[in-house]
Structure 1
């Protein structure tokens, strides 16, 4: 402490006597201890502290009654402290720096100076006392090393560039009439000191007048930080213009150009400091200075250069390069120095390597090394995706993981893993944009445990309703359908993804409809066999479908074959005949015979049942049915191409024992003036189905308007059909206007999954 509370004035001899007595008492306290019956010993041991605590800091050593000297250290921010002494004997008294304090009570607050502060705690009883000392050291404030300016201004003119604390070189041009200036520097840290041209200046206050010669004048502002060691110098080059009448003293430039890059700011005679930036590929530049006065001489980096001519090549290092242009006036006295700070960019990196590569699951093999490009890793089947975290060796490189940009050191987006081998690629592109390196990681995802689940999770039928309602554990169902339903499809869905399905011995994909299953009148047993992923466990579901008997049947109307039959008859001034072609007997009519290219459109399966009205609607077996129809654009093969060799959407088949034929085709389009339809010709046999002269029936099939609207408005490629369909009705159609009930098809399905069309036609034979 720098001061202590005043003590009462005591004559010197009395002070000495009291001091000796105090020393004896202290000796008795420390040396004799306690525990005897002697009254003087008992009273002296009572004049001690049983405790001492501080408002801040920790006593060293820990308090003990017999220890009388302590220290503690506190931070610079701690400006005061209080003490709490506790007496061993409540009848004793205690003072802190001469001021009485109650036992166990907090003293008044004592100010702390930087450095050591000493406190004396004295306990007294019956003339005996004990003195304790406490030294509190308050540490000094941290001394600032900031030697920067926060502001710098000049009394005349403007600094170029504008002031910034990190910029230490400035220039300013003043008129010849300005013979002196002042600078006003302001330190960032209040503890720093400032001098201008070696003369001390107060922060934020103008310097003394700085005399200016004509030409360049360098003013130096030196800042010394509070630590008295760190310093920074700012220079201001003040160019005082020559007198207008003194032509021979003109040391200015009228122009200055650089061979690469651009001067900043744009050249002006009075501006003497410039910067320029060039690419790394530029290893040297030239400067072309032009003097205002033809009598002046110029040197560039100390080499003489003729006014208006380029200097020699000036080598550039990577980074900042200061080039100087010194102009000496004709009078030999006035000199102005122009500077150009040229920054040459660093070389573009060609480093396309990784410094690290990590997986969110699994372990790379081998351990990652920048030069190793191929890795493998294995993960459990439960891991369906993972991320890669690549880190580029060069911060300027870019990274793509499986084609998607990924930041260096960041995880990629989740990468899906199939069971088995998965190749993941990391492509690193260097800063130069052309150098690349590809790292590959082949991740093997283990197969799932083989399932023995052979159940279905769903089973639906295209017509009718299963009874009972489907449940995985129920394996037997019944369904009833009308006589007009000549076939159905079943759509089974497996519970376990590894299982396989067969419907009536034909393999069917889970969730997909089976092929059409023909129905006889009466009972029909349909079977769905599910084989589990283990290849051994099976379960069979049966559907007994009962098709009602026909109550009666009527002869389907005779209709025109239209202009495009290609059946050997004369139509549209041609006698094309596809019935004579090898291969015309076929189920799938979506392509030209011998071609694998199919016409576009919504897939459709057409099931036609042929009956004999003269035999109680019995099915007609081995009769031939020829069908043809237009594309989704409303065009017919053969006639559209004027060639019988292009014969898509035409085909012939013989009826089976149930009188049924099935064709695979597309939903027909609609052309202007007609409702959508399919043409049919019936022949007594395949052998007779070679020319129209042998046919026994010609008719057409119609389609429900709601299905037509759905297909034409939502399916791709049917745009023109929708427009044509909106302008026609059954009532205005020249074929169906007299009735179409016996020609209407029954459809099930969707645009996404395709349709199944069923129709029964009856003829009299």
Structure 2
């Protein structure tokens, strides 16, 4: 009762082997049993998965030859995942979780099992641990007294701020939720207004809370600056006379001796520290009596307990009945260079080529002194350009008399040649940055201005005061007092031309400034060892034009898989150790006006990474 030899019976994979067993009874009767045995192939027992996806995306890190346990995260916008899989051996079946899709709770890890079942009945379990991220609790702004915290970033956490002493006995801290609308609320501890003590740090905690319950905490360390103790002046003068010694901020006492004819003075002063109070001046003009007159100017520092007083003693001399000297002499309102009351001249004065008339003015040392100009009166405009050629001169004689005293002063005025200088000393713009940096010999510049800038002002400063500058603009636009008004339909690019004509009316010089609306912002992100910080690499709140776009290029060599999301929607992905770079363009037109979030997630070295950054379309 044994099978036909040989026994054991050899079996080949996939082959059907027929084995006959004969049973003989004692009576001699026999009965045969036929056994057909099939040895299964290796694939028929293989329960390995060929593919494993969630919501149509390969599970991060999955490989048919890899592990059976995978851990990853999905954005808050992903409320559930639908699992799907296929077997290496299609004769088997896949056992998916029930229910499928699987609901996800923000912040909680969900363990899901997918089982491969071979034709032989053998099984292989795959464990997926997926965490739905919380909604962002990032704040889009934190302000102190209405001003954005310096360096604030929604993804940041700690800021150290010093506020001025003046006006900051208390501060008001406020915050704004993120533009995605996922910030449900925020809190500030302590409540505003927050009292500050000069020189003492105050810690303020601001927390954003998302709709999913996530908390984002920001720490503000605020110090109110100590008040300045600077009570010095940066300038002090009396007109039309001079101080002795010459002014110096640390010198507090001065004297001046003036002629009897100086009956009043004007006192001027400016503070050295912008934070100090305005100097306390006497009422101008200050009347002078014969003899000593004391004038005081007081400065109070920002610290009200600190003040400093400057004292000027002005002595007005007694009347000299025979003193005919002049105290001051000017041409067209400008003091004659090197004038000395005791010296009659001649004094050399230069007049610009364009000056048509000359007017002389004088003040006498004594009252009741008669002064004439070549037999005519002073303070009268006398012809100049019509009588003097380029490079020529005209002489003016001033005579004064008092009692028996007389004095004569001679002024020789030269008409300077017309200037041929036709350059600019600077160009500045109110929006954007002039590129390249201005030089007087550079004629071509460009400026990129933010989207929907309402206007831009061009300020072109001529090197020579006698030259003329005319600004014009292309594309049918208008420029008024250097201002070009812009709107959504402004044709870009446009060019502002500054034409500089020299005083000599010779050949003009032209400077061209091309204005472009902010467009493409190219960004390169290199593969990091830790989480990619997009905020550092491309900045927060980028403003791109309506026709512009952001290009993000990632070096993703060796990454198992990656995926880009814009406002929670996937816009691109790659799998299986992608080598090289991957670029994604995000156009303003595709997302619309507003603030948007870009999220990059990828899987590397069995760790799932992700980071996000916001950008803005429009103002």
Same fold, TM exceeding 0.5?
Answer: no
Q: Looking at secondary structure, tell me which structure has more helix per residue.
A: 1
Normalising by structure 1, report the TM-score.
Answer: 0.28
Normalising by structure 2, report the TM-score.
Answer: 0.34
Q: Looking at secondary structure, tell me which structure has more strand per residue.
A: 2
Higher relative contact order (CA 8 A, sep 6+): 2
